[in-house]
Structure 1
Amino acid sequence: MDSATPLSIENVSKAFVLPNRRVQALDDVTFHIEPGQVTGLIGVDAAGKTTLMRLIAGLLTLDAGRINVLGYDVTESPLAIQSAIGYMPQQFGLYQDLTVLENLQLYADLQALPPDQRDARFDQLLNMTGMAPFRVRLAGKLSGGMKQKLGLACTLLKSPDLLLLDEPTVGVDPVSRRELWEIVYRAVEENGMSVLLSTAYLDEAERCRDIKLLHEGRLLSEGPPDQFTQPLQNRTFLVSSNSDCPKRQLKKQLSHQPGVRDALIFGETVRILTADAQPEPDTLLAPLNCPNADLRIEPVDPRFEDAFVDQLSQQDDTVAEPSQPMETAESTPDDDKAPSSDPAIDVENLVCRFGDFVAVDHLSFRVQRGEIFGLLGANGAGKTTTFRMLCGLLPATEGHLHVAGLNLRKARAQARARLGYMSQKFSLYGVMTVAQNLNFYSKVYGLSGRRRRERIDWAIEMFELETYLNQTSHDLPLGFKQRLAMACALMHEPDILFLDEPTSGVDPMGRRDFWNKINALAEQGVTIMVTTHFMEEAEYCDRMAIMASGQILAIGSPADIKQNAGQTDMEEAFIHIIEQQKTEPTASRQPQNSEAVG
C-alpha cells in the first residue's frame, strides 16, 4: 500500500454480543481511500458504517484484520491516530451551556492548538461556517443546522489530514445541508484534506468521488457514482397521469407490477425502476386499473439512489416490497371516527412566546380529515413548537386551536387520547426493552385485556420487531428506533398522527417503508401531519406549509408551491422561498398561497 494512502482497511471484522444474539457488525471488510478527495460510506441502518468509523478512530478494538490511518496502525497507536485525525460522530459533543466561542476554545485545548494560532483560526472557521455573528450565543440556543456547523468547526480546528464525518447532515434543513457541503469541499480544496463521510442522503453520496457500499457488515461494492448508475440505462422511467388517477394511487399500483423493482412519488409523477431493461416501456402500463387516466411513461436518466435500491433488492428480494396494510383483521368501525366535513386541525392566529422570544407568530391553517399535511422549514423555524402545541404538550400563548373537534384550551387531555405523536428525537425509554416499551405504551393509552394483546402483536408484526424484543431500545439501530416509536404512537389507533421528522437519518429503504405505512394510514382516513427535511418526501403531502421565524411563508399543494416559486424541483423551491424571506422586511411578507389559510 502506498505510504501516502490516508486510510487502508484489510480484512476487518467486528462483532457485538447482545441479549440472546450475536451481531456481526463487520465481516472481512477490505478497502482503501485515495488522498485529497471525499469518499462516501453508505448502507442501510445497521450496515456497519458507524462501527467502522469508530474502529478507524481507535474508539473500538478490532476482532480481526488491520487498519492503517495516516501511517499509524490503529491497534498499536490509537492515541496518535486520535490526535492526527478529525472525527465528527453523529452526536457531536457540544457543551450546551458554553457559547460558540467557548466551545471552540475548549476543543482547541483538547486538541492542543497553540495559543498564538487560535484567534486567527477561530476567525477563519467562524467566517467559513457563517457563525461569526453568533460568537457569544450559547450552543444550546443554536438551531440544529448551526449546531452541526459549530461541531464541524470544532473538528476542523487543527485542519486534519483525514476527516471522518458520521452522517453530519442528519436532521439538517436543505439550506444548512448545502452550506455544510460547501464547508467540507472548501477544506478539501484548500488543504488537500481526505474525507470519509457516511450519509443517509444519496444525493449527497452522488457528490462523492468514490463510494463504498456496506450491507450487513460486508463491502457490497465500491467505485465512482457513475459506475453504479451506468448499468441502469433503459431501466428508469417517469409515469404521469391526470387527476383521474392520483399519484399515491398510481404509485401503489405500479409498486405491485411484475418487473417493477421500485416506485416512488417524484414531483407530480411516479419514478420507477425496472428489474430489466424495457425496450417497450408502455407495456408496463397495460395492466394498471386507471380508467380515463391518460397514463404516460418516459425514460429518465438513472440516479445513484436507483443503483442503491437495485443492488440491495438483489441482496434481499423483500427489501423494496411495499408494506402490508396497516389495518388488522380485528379492526372495526368507530363511531367517533365517522367522516365529517369539519377540519381535523383548525389553527387561527396561533402564537407561542418564551419570554421575549416569539417562537410561533400568528400561524393560521386548516388540515382536512384523511389529508397528509407537511410542515416544512429551516432548523429553528418553529415546526416542533407548533407540533407540541397541536398535541397538547405545550400551551399556546394566543390563538384559536381545535384538534379532532376539541378545543385544546379546554379539553387537552381528551384531545391527546385521539392523537398519536412521534417526536423528532427518540423519546421512548432507552433502558427498557422493545417489549417493555410496547407494554408500557399500550397501558398509557388505556388498552387492556385481549385488545391490548392484539395491538402489541400487531405492532411486532407490522414493524418487524420480533428479533429485537429483548434488546434495550437505546441499543437499537436508528431505523428500528424509529419503527418502535411509530408503533407506540399508533398503538391506540389515533384519528390524527403527528410525525416530527420521522425519517431523519433513516436510510432510503427505511424511508420507503415508512411512507408506504403513512400512505396506507391516510387511505384509511387517518389525518397525518408531518415535518421532514427530505424535500422529495414532501411531494407525498397533499398540501404543505413552509415556515421561517415562526411564520408561514408559503402554503398549498407541492405543485402550487413550486409554481409560485418559479421552480420545478421542491428543494430548489424551498431554498428560493427561505432565501427570499431573508431579504424581505418582515412586515411586507405575505404567504405565497393558492387558498385561504385562516
Structure 2
Amino acid sequence: MTGGRVTVAAQALRKTFAAPKGGRIVAVDDLALQVHAGQLTALVGPDGAGKTTLMRMVAGLLTPDAGTLRVLDTDVVADPQSVQDRVSYMPQRFGLYEDLSVQENLDLYADLHGVPATLRRERFARLLAMTDLARFTDRPAGKLSGGMKQKLGLACTLVRSPELLLLDEPSVGVDPLSRRDLWQILQQLIDGERLGVVVSTAYLDEAERCAQVFVIHQGVVLAEGPPDRLKERATGLTFLASPPAGVTARDLQARLIDARDRVIDAVPEGGGVRFIRQPGADADALGDLLQGAQVRTRPHELEDAFMMMLAAQASSSAGPRDDAAVAPPPALVERPPAQAPGWHAPVIQVRDLVRRFGDFTAVASTSFEVGRGEIFGLLGPNGAGKTTTFRMLCGLLPATSGQLQVAGVDLRRARAQARQRIGYVSQKFALYGNLSVRENLEFFAGAYGLRGQALRHRVATLLAQFSLDAAARSGDLPNGYKQRLAMAASLLHEPEILFLDEPTSGIDPLARRAFWRTITGLAQRAVTIVVTTHFMEEAEYCDRIAIQDAGRVLALGTPQQVRVQAGTGHGSDMDEAFIAIVEQGRRQHASSAAAA
C-alpha cells in the first residue's frame, strides 16, 4: 500500500563511525527506502541494526558518508537546516527539563521553535487534551510517571506543526495503558492532520498497526511492505502448544527454543507456548520436544515473520550469532536441583509493607511471599509504586513500616548483610561505560570479595556464557549486550536471589528471548528471580505475578489466575488482562473515594 507523495527517499545510503580501536563501524550500509506522506511507517530490527542512525540522518542531525537522502523534497546533505525546520524528532531520551513544570516545558520548546504567541493557546490546549496532561500543567516534569513523561515529550515535539514526525522507540519503558494512549494520539495526528509518522519500535504488535514496515538488520533493509504481506512467510508454520500436567509453559518453551534445528522461535503465551516450526522440519519430529503437549495451529503474526527473517540471516552469516545467549546455559550457580527438599520455602516475606514520602503514600500495606526458585513478576502502570517496592526488597530504600525479610535477613535491621546474598540488574545501565567489559567484571568481582584464581575463573565463565567481547568498551555496546553485561556482573558472586528491574526495556525480541532463556536456566538451578517488566508477554514466564496501582496490590497469583480475575478468559492476551485489572481497580478506588 502506498500513501501520498514521497517524504523520505534514500538510495545507497551509508554511514560509518570510528571504532574505538581503529577502523570503522558500519551503521547503515547501502540502504534504500521510501516513506510516503499521511501514513504510519515502522522501522524494526535488532539492537544495533542502524535504526537510530537512519532516523538521525533523516532529521538532518547526521550527515551520510555516501548515497542520496531527500526529505520533504530537500537534499539533507545540501540543506540540513531546512529539513530540521520542517521535521520534528523525538529521540529515545527526550530532553525534558525536570525542574520545570509541564506548562513551562511546553513554553520553553515553543520559544526554541519560534512558535508565535497567537498560535500557542489553541495549540497547547489541543496537545494537553490529547495527552490528558491538562490537569498536571503545574506539576514538575521530574515528578511525572514514565508514561506521562513520554506523553509530555511528544507534546513538546509537536508544539510546532511538523510536516514529518520521527519517533525513536516512543513506548520504551511505559506500561500497556500508556502505550495504548500514545498510539491513540498518533492515530489522531494521522487521521486529523494527515501527518506522516516514522516510528522505530521494539514492539512488533505496534509495527503491525503501521501501513508500511521496514525490517532493518546490520544497516540494510531485509524486507519491506505492509504487515499483512510480510507475515505471509510464516503461513503454515505457527502453532500453540498446551503443556501437559506437571510441565510449566516456561520449561516447555525452553525445550523448544533450544531445538534450533526444528524450531525457529518459542515464547509463552496464555498458559501455553506459541512457536514457529522450521520450514524444513517434519512436524512429526517434534514429538520428543512436546512430550504429550496438545498442539494446534494459530494465526501467524508479524513477530513470527520477523523472527524467521532474523533466524535466516543468522544462519547465512559467517559471523557470531546475535542470539548466542539463547544456548542452554551451564550451571551458572551451584544450587540444588528443583527436586531438593524445601524448594518452595519462602525466601522473601513481605507483611504490611508501607513506604511514605512526606504525606504521599507510595506503597500501602503490601503483603506477599516468594518461594525459593520461583520467578515472581512485579507489574503495574508507571507510577504504581512497584519500583519503590522493588527498591525496598533490594535493600536500597528503607521501609516506613511493615515486615520485610529477604534470604532470612530482616531488611529493616541488616540491609548490608542481605545485599551479600542478592544480585541486582537496574533498568538503566549502571556499570562504567568508559571501562572495558573485562574491567567492569573484574571491578565488581573484587567488590564482591572475589580474588585471584576464583575471580579469573568466574569472569572467564561469564564472558563465555554471555558471549561478551572482553576488550569491548562497555559504553559502546548495543543495549542488548549492555544488559548481558549487567546480568553477568550481577551473577559474579553466585547470588541466591536475583532482582531484575525492567531488564529488557528497549531491547528487541531476539535479545529478549536470549535474556529469558538465561533467566529460566537460573530458576531451574533454584535461584529466586524477582522481575519488573512492561512487556506483558514476559509475565507469562513468571510462576506468579502481582499487579500494583497507586501503591495497592490489585491482583496476586499465577498468570492464569490473574486472567480469571480480569475476566478475560483462558488463553487471553496478558496486555488485555493487565489493562482490565488496573481499570477495575481504579473504578473501585474512585467509587470508594466518592462514597467516603
User: Which TM-score bucket, shorter chain as reference?
Assistant: over 0.9
What is aligned with 2:88?
Answer: 86
What is aligned with 2:502?
Answer: 501
What is aligned with 2:312?
Answer: 314
Instruction: Indicate which of 297, 300, 303 corresponds to 1:299.
Output: 297
TM-score by structure 2 length?
Answer: 0.94
Matched AA of 1:102: E
What is aligned with 2:558?
Answer: 557
| CA distance 1:133–1:584, change in 2 (3 Å) | same
Q: CA deviation at 1:159?
A: 2.0
The CA deviation string for residues 240-260 of structure 1, in whole angstroms up to 9 with x for no partner, is: 133232222222222344421
Q: CA deviation at 1:288?
A: 3.4
What is aligned with 2:438?
Answer: 435
What is aligned with 1:367?
Answer: 370
Separation (CA, whole Å) in 1 of partners of 2:3 and 2:367: 62
What is aligned with 1:240?
Answer: 242
1:462 aligns with 2:460: no
Separation (CA, whole Å) in 1 of partners of 2:335 and 2:191: 62
Of 37-46 and 434-443, deviating more is 434-443
Matched AA of 1:371: E
What is aligned with 2:456?
Answer: 453
Query: 1:234·1:277 contact (CA, 8 Å) conserved in 2?
Result: no
Q: Secondary structure at the match of 1:40?
A: strand
Separation (CA, whole Å) in 2 of partners of 1:341 and 1:271: 28
What is aligned with 1:169?
Answer: 171
Separation (CA, whole Å) in 1 of partners of 2:532 and 2:313: 31
| CA distance 1:48–1:255, change in 2 (3 Å) | same
The CA deviation string for residues 400-434 of structure 1, in whole angstroms up to 9 with x for no partner, is: 00000111122211100000011111111223232
Matched AA of 2:231: T
Q: Secondary structure at the match of 2:100?
A: coil
What is aligned with 1:65?
Answer: 67
What is aligned with 2:161?
Answer: 159
1:403 aligns with 2:406: yes
What is aligned with 2:209?
Answer: 207
Query: 2:352·2:367 contact (CA, 8 Å) conserved in 1?
Result: yes
Separation (CA, whole Å) in 2 of partners of 1:343 and 1:300: 38
| CA distance 1:433–1:205, change in 2 (3 Å) | same
Matched AA of 2:462: A
Q: CA deviation at 1:182?
A: 0.5
Separation (CA, whole Å) in 2 of partners of 1:82 and 1:573: 42
Separation (CA, whole Å) in 2 of partners of 1:569 and 1:221: 28
What is aligned with 1:120?
Answer: 122
Separation (CA, whole Å) in 1 of partners of 2:325 and 2:446: 30
What is aligned with 2:225?
Answer: 223
Instruction: Indicate which of 552, 562, 583 corresponds to 2:587.
Output: 583
Separation (CA, whole Å) in 1 of partners of 2:583 and 2:207: 25
Q: CA deviation at 1:437?
A: 1.3
1:543 aligns with 2:548: no
Q: Secondary structure at the match of 1:29?
A: strand
| CA distance 1:537–1:15, change in 2 (3 Å) | same
What is aligned with 2:477?
Answer: 476
Of 53-62 and 558-567, deviating more is 53-62
What is aligned with 1:182?
Answer: 184
The CA deviation string for residues 160-202 of structure 1, in whole angstroms up to 9 with x for no partner, is: 1100000000001000000000101101111111111000000
Query: 1:161·1:192 contact (CA, 8 Å) conserved in 2?
Result: no
Matched AA of 2:424: Y
Separation (CA, whole Å) in 2 of partners of 1:225 and 1:340: 45
Separation (CA, whole Å) in 1 of partners of 2:37 and 2:335: 61
Separation (CA, whole Å) in 2 of partners of 1:2 and 1:289: 45
| CA distance 1:354–1:73, change in 2 (3 Å) | same
Matched AA of 1:8: A
Q: CA deviation at 1:483?
A: 1.1
Query: 1:255·1:322 contact (CA, 8 Å) conserved in 2?
Result: no
What is aligned with 2:318?
Answer: none
Separation (CA, whole Å) in 1 of partners of 2:521 and 2:554: 30
Separation (CA, whole Å) in 2 of partners of 1:364 and 1:256: 37
Separation (CA, whole Å) in 2 of partners of 1:388 and 1:100: 27
What is aligned with 2:10?
Answer: 9
Q: CA deviation at 1:333?
A: 6.8
The CA deviation string for residues 388-410 of structure 1, in whole angstroms up to 9 with x for no partner, is: 11111111111100000111122
| CA distance 1:384–1:480, change in 2 (3 Å) | same
Separation (CA, whole Å) in 2 of partners of 1:256 and 1:150: 42
Separation (CA, whole Å) in 1 of partners of 2:312 and 2:287: 26
Q: CA deviation at 1:588?
A: 5.1
Of 24-33 and 426-435, deviating more is 426-435
* Match runs of 1:346-365 below 5 Å: 346-365=349-368
Q: CA deviation at 1:587?
A: 8.8
Q: Secondary structure at the match of 1:86?
A: strand
Query: 2:254·2:520 contact (CA, 8 Å) conserved in 1?
Result: no
The CA deviation string for residues 355-374 of structure 1, in whole angstroms up to 9 with x for no partner, is: 11111111100000000000
Separation (CA, whole Å) in 1 of partners of 2:3 and 2:182: 31
Separation (CA, whole Å) in 2 of partners of 1:459 and 1:350: 36
State the identity as a percent.
51
1:44 aligns with 2:42: no
Separation (CA, whole Å) in 2 of partners of 1:76 and 1:26: 19
Separation (CA, whole Å) in 1 of partners of 2:362 and 2:332: 43
Query: 2:347·2:406 contact (CA, 8 Å) conserved in 1?
Result: yes
Query: 1:261·1:320 contact (CA, 8 Å) conserved in 2?
Result: no
Q: Secondary structure at the match of 1:483?
A: helix
Matched AA of 1:49: K
| CA distance 1:453–1:332, change in 2 (3 Å) | farther
Q: CA deviation at 1:528?
A: 0.3
Q: Secondary structure at the match of 2:548?
A: strand
Query: 2:426·2:500 contact (CA, 8 Å) conserved in 1?
Result: yes
Query: 1:313·1:319 contact (CA, 8 Å) conserved in 2?
Result: no
What is aligned with 1:594?
Answer: none
Q: CA deviation at 1:500?
A: 0.5
| CA distance 1:448–1:186, change in 2 (3 Å) | same
The CA deviation string for residues 480-511 of structure 1, in whole angstroms up to 9 with x for no partner, is: 11111111111111000000000011100000
Separation (CA, whole Å) in 1 of partners of 2:386 and 2:124: 32
What is aligned with 2:511?
Answer: 510
Runs of 5+ in structure 1 lacking a partner? 590-598
Separation (CA, whole Å) in 2 of partners of 1:253 and 1:31: 39
Q: CA deviation at 1:67?
A: 1.1
Query: 2:252·2:290 contact (CA, 8 Å) conserved in 1?
Result: no
Query: 1:233·1:277 contact (CA, 8 Å) conserved in 2?
Result: no
Separation (CA, whole Å) in 1 of partners of 2:101 and 2:332: 55
Q: CA deviation at 1:474?
A: 2.5
Q: Secondary structure at the match of 2:68?
A: strand
Q: Secondary structure at the match of 1:44?
A: coil
Instruction: Indicate which of 388, 394, 405 corresponds to 2:391.
Output: 388
1:250 aligns with 2:218: no
What is aligned with 1:571?
Answer: 575
| CA distance 1:61–1:55, change in 2 (3 Å) | same
Q: Secondary structure at the match of 2:349?
A: strand
Query: 1:312·1:319 contact (CA, 8 Å) conserved in 2?
Result: no
| CA distance 1:289–1:270, change in 2 (3 Å) | closer
Matched AA of 2:288: P
| CA distance 1:117–1:458, change in 2 (3 Å) | same
Q: CA deviation at 1:458?
A: 1.5
Separation (CA, whole Å) in 2 of partners of 1:241 and 1:338: 25
TM-score by structure 1 length?
Answer: 0.93
Separation (CA, whole Å) in 2 of partners of 1:65 and 1:437: 39
